[in-house]
Amino acid sequence: MGNVVRRILIVGNWKMNKTASEAAVFIREIAPRLPAAPAIDIVVAPPFTALESVRAALGPSSSIQLGAQNVFWESHGAYTGEISAPMLSDLGCRYVIIGHSERRTLFGEQDEGIRKKIRAALAHDLKPILCIGESLSQRERGQTDDVLRQQLKGGLADLSLQAMAAITIAYEPVWAIGTGKAATTEQAIAAHRTIRTFLSDTWSAEIANATRILYGGSVTPQNIDALLQSDQIDGALIGGACLQVESFARITTFAESIGACG
C-alpha cells in the first residue's frame, strides 16, 4: 500500500457526562491548553444537551471540532426523543460517533440501524466514526477478526468509494472500555491490520490507506504515546480520560508532538 500520511485524530467521547454549564466551564479551561493551529484533528463529543454551550464556549475560530455521540436516521418527523443529522449539522457538528458498543449492548443497536445512521450522517455532511470491537468471550474464542469484519460489513455495506472517504473507524475492544485494561499496542495493531485488509479487499488499497483507524478503550496520558508510535494507529477515541482538563490536555499534547513530526 502507498504512503498516505493520515492526520492524527483525537476524539473525546464524553458519554453521559457534564451539564451544559459544566461543559462551558470545561471548554473555557481546556481551550488555552490546546495547540492553536494543531497538526492533528481534535474533536469533542459532548451530550446533545451541551453541544450549543460547547460551540459557544469554543467560539467561531476554534481549531477544536464538534462531534455528537449518536444520530437518528430520519431527518425529521414523529420520532419522539430522537435527534437528526440536519439538527446536528446545524449546530456545527462535523463528526458523529455511530455504533458505539454501549449503544449496541445497552440500547440494542444492530447493523441495519447503524448502516442507516451512517448514510444519514453522510447525507448531511457529518463524518461518521464507526465503532467496532469484540467482547472478551469473542476474543477468547478466537473470533476477533470475524467479529470486526462482520461489523464493518454490517455498518458500511454498499458505500461508494466517495462515501468511504468520509468514514473513520474506531476499534474499541469491549473488554477494554472503562476497565483500565487497554489493549496492548500489538493487539491494537493486529486488529487495525485486519480492518485495513478488509477495507482494501472490499473497496480499494487507496481507501484502506487513506482511512483513519482510531483505537479506543482505557486510553490515558500514560499509554497514548506507545499507541501512537505505530503508524497503524491513527488516533484515539477517549472516554474517561477526556473528562478532566489535565488528562485530555496531556493526551492532545502528546498526540500533537507526534503529529507535528509526522
Residues 171-190 that bind ligand 13P (CB under 6 A): 172, 177-178
Pick one of 40, 93, 183, 238: the residue that binds ligand 13P (CB under 6 A): 238
Measure the CA dihedral 109/110/111/112, to 10°. Answer: -90
Integer-rounded Cα Rg, in Å, for the chain is 17
Q: Which sign does the torsion angle of CA 135, 137, 138, 144 carry?
A: positive
Q: Which sign does the torsion angle of CA 20, 250, 96, 173 carry?
A: negative
Pick one of 38, 133, 217, 259: the residue that binds ligand 13P (CB under 6 A): 217
Which range in 2-10, 76-84, 190-198, 236-244 contacts ligand 13P by CB under 6 A? 236-244
Measure the CA dihedral 47/48/53/59, to 10°. Answer: 100
Quick check: 244 and 223 in contact, CB under 8 A?
no
CB environment 180-202: b (16+ within 10 A), e (fewer): eebbebebbbbbbebbbebbbeb
Residue 112 bears catalytic tag: no
Smallest gap, in angstroms, from Cβ of residue 179 to ligand 13P?
Answer: 7
Q: Which residues contact 73 (CB under 8 A, 6 or more apart)?
A: 85, 113, 116, 117, 119, 120
> Whose Cβ is closer to ligand 13P: residue 30's or residue 177's?
177
The dihedral region occupied by 31, where left means phi > 0, alpha psi between -120 and 50, and beta the remainder, is alpha
Pick one of 9, 13, 66, 130: the residue that binds ligand 13P (CB under 6 A): 13
> Whose Cβ is closer to ligand 13P: residue 128's or residue 217's?
217
Choose the catalytic residue: 100, 102, 124, 256.
Answer: 100
87-116 mask for ligand 13P (x: CB under 6 A)? Answer: -------------x----------------
Quick check: 95 and 11 in contact, CB under 8 A?
yes
Which range in 32-40, 78-86, 134-142, 231-239 contacts ligand 13P by CB under 6 A? 231-239
Residue 192 bears catalytic tag: no
Smallest gap, in angstroms, from Cβ of residue 182 to ligand 13P?
Answer: 8
> Whose Cβ is closer to ligand 13P: residue 185's or residue 203's?
185
Residues 122 and 140: their CA atoms lie apart, in Å, by 35
Does residue 239 belong to the site contacting ligand 13P (CB under 6 A)?
Answer: yes
Which range in 51-59, 82-90, 104-112, 212-220 contacts ligand 13P by CB under 6 A? 212-220
Quick check: 235 and 28 in contact, CB under 8 A?
no
Which range in 28-36, 116-124, 135-143, 232-240 contacts ligand 13P by CB under 6 A? 232-240
Pick one of 191, 214, 219, 228: the residue that binds ligand 13P (CB under 6 A): 219
Binding site for ligand 13P (CB under 6 A): 13, 100, 172, 177-178, 216-219, 237-241
